[in-house]
Structure 1
Amino acid sequence: MNSLRLKLKAKSGPEPSTSKPFEFDPCESAKKGKSFDLGHGSEVFHVPRFLPADRSWAWFDYINKHIPWSRPTLRIFGRHLVQPRDSCYIAADGLPAISYNGHTPRAYSWDDFPPLKDILDTVHKALPGSRFNSLVLNRYDGNNDYVSWHSDDEVLYGLTPEIASVTFGCEREFLLRKKPSKMSPASNDEPKSKRLRKSHDPDQHSFVLKHGSLLVMRGYTQRDWLHSVPKRAKPMSIRINLTFRRVLP
C-alpha cells in the first residue's frame, strides 16, 4: 500500500489557488458525456473525462490533506459498526441536519474550504439549472473501503433529487441495481450474487468512475434504484468522491 501511495503522490500537483481562473469550459466538458435512460423517469449522466488531470490532482491533494475526515460508528440492524470509509459533510447555513444509521455528521461551512466552492461552481456551470447546497465527501483508503447497497431517498432531498458525483484519485467501480418490485416478491429469493452475474441485465448497471469524472443521478433513480461501491480483491490507492446534493430548506 505504501508504494501505491508514493506512486499516487508522484502524480499529484500543487495545491489549487482559489483565485486561479478556470482553464477549461465545464459546459464543453459536459457535452462529451452520455445519458443512460434507466426507465420510468430514472436517468444517469456520465462524463468519464470531466475535469483536466492536472487540476484534478491539485484538488485531490488539497482535499486529502485539509478536510477533517472522520470514520464514525454507525448503528446497522442493531449492531454498532465502524463506517468502512472516511467522510465529511459540508452544508450551507440554515439547512436541516442530515442523519443516517444513527449518526448525525457535523456540518462544516463552504467558507471553511474555498476550493470546494470552486468545484461546486464548476459543477454548476456544467449542469445549468442545478442548485446544490450541500456536499458529502467520502475517502476510500484502499480496496477494503466501500459503501454498501443503498439509495439516497431521504425526505430532505425531495422526490426526484439530482446528485452529482465527482471522483478524484484511484478509479473504482460504481454499481446500480434496481430495487425489487413489490409486485414480484419471488425476485427477492434469488441470491444476490446470482443477480449480479447476469450479463446484459437491464436491472444492473456498472460504471468505472475514473479520476476527474462526473456522474449524475436524476429523476426517480433514488426511489427505484440502489447503488454501491464494492470492495475489491487487489490493492488500490486512495479514492476521493464528492457527492453534491440539494437539501430542501
Structure 2
Amino acid sequence: MSKRTRAGAPKAAILAHQQESSPPSSSSTLATTKKKRPNLKSKQEHTFQPVTDPNFTSTYRVAGLHPRAQVFYCEAFVKPDLAREWRDRLLSEMEWYRPTLRVYGKDVTQSRQIAAYATTSDLKLTYSGHPVEMHHPFPPLLTQIATHLTQTLQIDFNHVMLNLYEDGSRYIGKHRDNKENLCIASLSLGVGRRWVMDRVRRKGFVVGAGDEGDGVVDRKEWTLADGSLLVMQGDTQELYTHEIPKEPKIKDLRISLTFRQLLNKE
C-alpha cells in the first residue's frame, strides 16, 4: 500500500462548459422537509432498499435510458456555498492515499487519490484485487453529508468512497459496479466533469435490446455539476457501463463521494 498523503490546497473552482447533449433533468434545488435523523450504523440483519420516494424518483429520473435502468440526477442538490465548504474541508480532513492496483499481473500505484470510510469496522472492501484502506466510523463531516443525503432519499448507506480528480488528466475508465449494490449515490463537488453511459454489449448483442421501448439511446452523457447528485439503481449496472473520461483542458479539481450499501459477508 502506498504511503498516505494529504491533498493540497484547493484550486479556484470554475464553471465547466455544458456538453452538447443537454443535462437530463431539472436544475432546481431539491426541497427537503425536516425529518428524523437517520441511523447510520450498519447491522448484519439490516436489509437495504433502493430509493422509492416518489417526489425524488418522478422529478429527477434521467430520460433516454432503458426503463430497467433507474438513474436519477439532481443538478443542484447542494447549494454552491455549502458545496465549496465541503470540498475544501474534505481536501484537508480526509485520509487520502493512492491505492495499489493489479494490472496484467503487476502491482501499480493509481494516480488518482481515494479515501474510504465505513460506519463499522466489520465492513471490508477490495479494490482491483487489493484490500481497501477502510476507516471507521464516519468522521463528523461525512456524517453530516450522509445525513443530508439520507434525509432526502430516505434510505441508509454504510460506506463511502471518495475520489480526488485533481485536474482533467485524472479519470476513471469505462466500468460497471457490483450488482449487489441496490443503490449507489454519488455527490460531485468542484469543477464539472463529463459523465458517459454506454449500453453493454455481449457477444455482439446489446444487453436488454428488444424490451426497452422507444426513445432509448445507446450512449447518454452530460456534465456532473458542482453540488449535483447522481443515483443509480435497478438494472443500471447490468445494462450500462459508465466512465469519467479525460478532459485535458480542465485545470481545476473535483471530489466525488460515492455512497454504497455494503453487506458484511463474514
1:53 offset after TM fit, Å? 0.9
Matched, 1:225 2:240: yes
Q: How many residues align?
A: 212
Instruction: Give the distance between the partners of 1:96 and 1:142, measured in 2 at CA.
Output: 31
Task: Quote the offset at 1:32 in angstroms.
Answer: 9.3
Q: Which runs of 5+ in 2 are unaligned?
A: 1-8, 15-29, 35-54, 207-214
Q: Which SS does the other structure have where 1:60 is aligned?
A: helix
Counterpart residue identity of residue 255, structure 2 = I
Task: Name which of 157, 164, 180 aligns with 1:132.
Answer: 157
- State the alpha-carbon separation in 1 of the partners of residues 62 and 130 from structure 2: 33
TM score, norm. by length of structure 2: 0.72
1:201–1:25 distance in 2 versus 1, CA, 3 Å:
closer
For residues 1-249 of structure 1, the aligned pairs below 5 Å read: 6-8=11-13, 25-26=31-32, 33-36=59-62, 38-39=65-66, 41-111=68-138, 113-128=139-154, 130-153=155-178, 158=180, 161-182=182-203, 184=204, 202-249=217-264
Q: Which residue identity does 1:165 align to in structure 2?
A: S
Counterparts of 1:88 and 1:102 in 2: how far apart (Å)?
17
Q: Which has the higher helix share?
A: 1
Off by >4 Å, runs of 4+ in structure 1: 27-33
- The one-letter code of the counterpart of 2:13 is L
Structure 1 gap ranges (5+): 10-23, 188-199
Secondary structure at the aligned position of 1:244 is classed as strand
* Alignment CA distance shift 1:6-1:35 (3 Å): closer
Contact map agreement 1:95 1:248 (CA 8 A) in 2: no
Q: How big is the shift at 1:102? A: 2.0
Please tell me whether the aligned partners of residues 26 and 50 of structure 1 are also in contact (alpha carbons under 8 angstroms): no
1:120-146 CA distance string (max 9 Å, x none): 011111112x22110000000111111
Structure 2 CA distance, aligned partners of 1:121 and 1:96?
19
* Matches of 2:57 and 2:129, distance apart in 1: 40
Q: 219-228 or 58-67, which moves further after superposition?
A: 219-228
Name the Cα RMSD after superposition. 2.7
Distance 1:204 1:167 in 2: 21
TM-score for the superposition, normalised by structure 1: 0.76
Cα deviation for residue 45 of structure 1 reads: 0.2
How many percent of aligned residue pairs carry the same amino acid? 28
